Amino acid sequence: MKNGEIVRARNVYERAVEKLADEEDAEQLFVAFAEFEERCKETERARCIYKFALDHIPKGRAEDLYRKFVAFEKQYGDKEGIEDAIVGKRRFQYEDEVSKNPLNYDAWFDYIKLEESVGNKGRIREVYERAISNVPPAEEKRYWQRYIYLWINYALYEELDAGDMEQTRDVYRECLKLIPHEKSSFAKIWLLAAQFEIRQLNLKGARQILGNAIGKAPKDKIFKKYIEIELQLGNIDRCRKLYEKYLEWAPQNCYAWSKYAELERSLSETERARDIFELAITQPALDMPELLWKPSNLLLDANCDLKICDFGLARTTSETDFMTEYVVTRWYRAPELLLNCSEYTAAIDIWSVGCILMEIIRREPLFTGKDYVQQLGLITQLLGSPEDSDLGFLRSENARKYVKQLPRFPKQPFAEKFPDVSPVTIDLAEKILVFDPSKRITGKLGQ
């Protein structure tokens, strides 16, 4: 084709593009124009035509155009051009997915990841804004769990990659404003927003966010983190106020009660810690009472006054016995623990309950062995030596042999041994304090 003919043909294509660019079949016109320039060895002109077309033709009508452009770049483009073409093709695929289902948040995540790999801030923000505009259709939390991470990623992008702190703050603010906190609040977004303000040295802003969180959507995680922050700052009075709000919101929460008491104990406020424990055990319902009521945490004096303490690292003292590093509450240990059984079952706790029950009634411990051997001996002296049928829980043959070679004792009737104890208590104690754990009464049967 001669130069004059090329110029005239180009003019025709240009006029056609000017008139028909918005028509349904404009895609084929642009492809033909680009291929014409390619045949004329005008690769830059062809590239410009492809890019112009891709910017103006809707993604849903440009599938063939993308394919032709990628093939063109593979043939004529450099590494950067080829990568741009491939990115463009992937962008087209994601556009197709999100247009078909705007609530496909996984597709939005992939689309955003693609744009972040390219690094164009304008495009990245545009895709984020489009993604978060697709609010879940219902307020139930299950619809929001994936969606909320679009906001989180957006905020982290603005802070860590774009370095725009005001935009980061706006993202958190708009997200918290949008969430239906009555039905679908998320502790994570509250905490991230507060931690962002702390990184900006805006403690007042962080406290305001956490205070709003407690007011609108109180959660364990929010209380714990807020208390942790104030404790690190040394604001004890604020910690106390937060624990009070925590327990006002969840009076059944044994973790909160125990941590509050632990705080006071760490400050040597023994009386305050004791008052907190005593107030805790008066609650009508507790979620994990074992955190408050444990065999190793009971003090009982001769007047039958019951106190809660930390006996986990305590032992009796003596003027004659040497002190060692050995620490344990042996007096409440079930026979299976004394015989080195590795499996810890509920029956072990039931045995401890029986020991404590008799201690409360008698006002002195039931089995006060100084070592494992004496402890086991005291148990067999009261319960009688176990028969072979009572040793089925022992997997170790050596343990069985050891028990069988112990001195033999008959069982002592509890009613004769403890004449001052009521028959009902005696009956319960005899069902609890049984050598074989499989024959011990369960907590359910004891109700």
DSSP structure string for 320-339: SSPP-S----GGG--HHHHT
* 374 against 60, higher pLDDT: 374
The dihedral region occupied by 33, where left means phi > 0, alpha psi between -120 and 50, and beta the remainder, is alpha
Report the SS3 class of residue 252.
coil
In this predicted model, what pLDDT tens digit does every residue of 155-168 receive, in sequence order? Answer: 999 999 999 999 99
Whether 425 is in a domain gets the answer yes
Whether 98 is in a domain gets the answer no
Whether 420 is in a domain gets the answer yes
In the chain, the amino acid numbered 242 is L
Mean pLDDT within 266-279:
89
| Helix/strand/coil percent split, the chain, to 5 | 65, 0, 30
Query: Which pLDDT score, from 0 to 100, does residue 316 have?
Result: 57
Spatial distance between the Cα atoms of 237 and 218, rounded to a whole number of angstroms: 20
Spatial distance between the Cα atoms of 333 and 372, rounded to a whole number of angstroms: 10
Question: Would you state the structure tokens that stand for residue 390, as one six-digit string?
Answer: 């009572």
In this predicted model, what pLDDT tens digit does every residue of 317-328 receive, in sequence order? Answer: 556 655 444 445
Question: Would you state the structure tokens that stand for residue 163, as one six-digit string?
Answer: 């370095």
Q: Looking at the predicted structure, is the pLDDT value of residue 296 above 50?
A: no
- How many domains does one find in the chain? 1
Query: Which pLDDT score, from 0 to 100, does residue 64 have?
Result: 79
Q: Looking at the predicted structure, is the pLDDT value of residue 409 above 70?
A: yes
Query: Which pLDDT score, from 0 to 100, does residue 323 have?
Result: 45
Q: List all residues 6 or more positions away from 207 whose beta carbon is below 8 Å from its beta carbon.
A: 194
Instruction: Indicate the burial class of 66 (C-beta count within 10 angstroms; 0-12, 13-18, 19 or more).
Output: buried
Whether 345 is in a domain gets the answer yes
Matching residue, tokens 């390619």: 38
DSSP lists the bridge partners of residue 300 as 306
pTM: 0.56
What CATH number did the domain enclosing 429 receive?
1.10.510.10
Q: Which domain holds residue 347?
A: 330-439
Whether 411 is in a domain gets the answer yes
Instruction: Indicate the burial class of 273 (C-beta count within 10 angstroms; 0-12, 13-18, 19 or more).
Output: buried
Spatial distance between the Cα atoms of 8 and 229, rounded to a whole number of angstroms: 75
Whether 394 is in a domain gets the answer yes
Mean pLDDT within 115-130:
93
Q: How confident is the model at residue 236 (pLDDT cuts 50, 70, 90)?
A: very high
Whether 286 is in a domain gets the answer no
Whether 350 is in a domain gets the answer yes
